[in-house]
Structure 1
C-alpha cells in the first residue's frame, strides 16, 4: 500500500497519468479479464508503478484491480537446498532459474481461464527471505491483474509461456546507475547493512540479474521512460 503523500506526488507525474488513462482505456475496450505486466531493472520502480495504478483505479472508479509481484514465486530456501548445486543457487538467488516459472504461468492461466474461482497468489517476505504461499486473495470480481517483476517478459526458463496470458506489457526504462542506487538503499533498509555491503551484494548478483532483465525490453508493448 502506497502512502497518501507518495500517491499525491505521483499524481503530478505526466507519465503516471498517461499510464492511468491507458489502463482505463483498456478496461473500456475489454469485457474480459486483463493482465498487465510491468518489467524493468531491479530498483526501477516496478512495484510503485503497479501499486499506484491499482490504488488510484480503485479509488476513482471502484474497478476491481489488484497488483501482485513475481517475487512470490522465488523458490524457497528449502527448495534451493535440494538443487544440484545449492551453493550456486543461493549465490545467484534472484536469477530466472531460481523462480518457479511453471507455477507463475499457471496462476496467470487460472486468472484468465477460471474467472468464477477465487485465486490465491504468493507474496514474498524480504526480511525472512521466503515466499508466503496463498497470502494474496484474488476474488472472482477482480477484472484487472497488474503483475510486476524482473522476468515477467523474459523469454527463457519457462517464462516465455506467460506471454500467452498477458494483454499489455510495459518496460520501465531507467538508467542502471539510478536503479542500482535505489536498490542499494532498499537493501540497506531491508537487511540493515552498510552501503558498501549493499553495493557488494549488487555487484555479485543483482547487476547480473539486471542485465538479464534488460534483454526483455524488446518484448514490451510500451517503453516507459522515467527519471
Structure 2
C-alpha cells in the first residue's frame, strides 16, 4: 500500500456528537442525538430541523434526505429548497412506544426502512401512502440496527445478535445465511460485491463471495 501524507483542510464545528452525515453539493446533512442539522459550507451557517421528531436514521439521494423517526414516521427534506414532506405518518400506540425506524436504505428507486420489521416500496409509493410492497417480519423483541441492500440480498444486524450480519434474499424475504464479526456491529456497507462492517472494537471487516 502506498504511504501518502494526508492534510486536514477543513474543520466544521457542529457542537454535538455526529451520528451520521451525508453530503449534497456544498450542504452537509448531519444527524446528531437530538437534531437534524443542515450545514452550508459556503455560507458557514447551520440550520436545525425536526427538533421534536427524535430522528434515528438518515439516507440522502438526489438532493432529498429521508429521515426515520422515533414515532415511526418518515420525513422527506429537500436539501435545496428546504421543503418538508411527511411521507409516512406517525404511529401512536403504547405498544410501539419503544420502537423506531433505526435504519433507512435507498436502493435504485426503492426505499427500505428497518425497525421491528423491514419494509420496502418504491419511493413514489411511499409518498402515495400505499401499503409497503414487501414486509419482512423480525422475531418478537428484535429490532434492526443496521442494514444494507444490494441486487439480490438484504444484509442486516439486530439487537438480539449484534455481532452477526444476517443475509436475506431481497425478493423472497428468506433468510439464507449469516456472517459473524466477533464483536458488536455498528455499521454495514456494501460496494462491488464486498460486504463491510464496522465494529465496536474498532475493526472494519470485509467479506467477498467465493
What's the TM-score, normalizing by structure 1? 0.25
More helix by share: 1
Tell me: higher relative CO, structure 1 or 2? Use CA pairs within 8 A at least 6 residues apart.
1
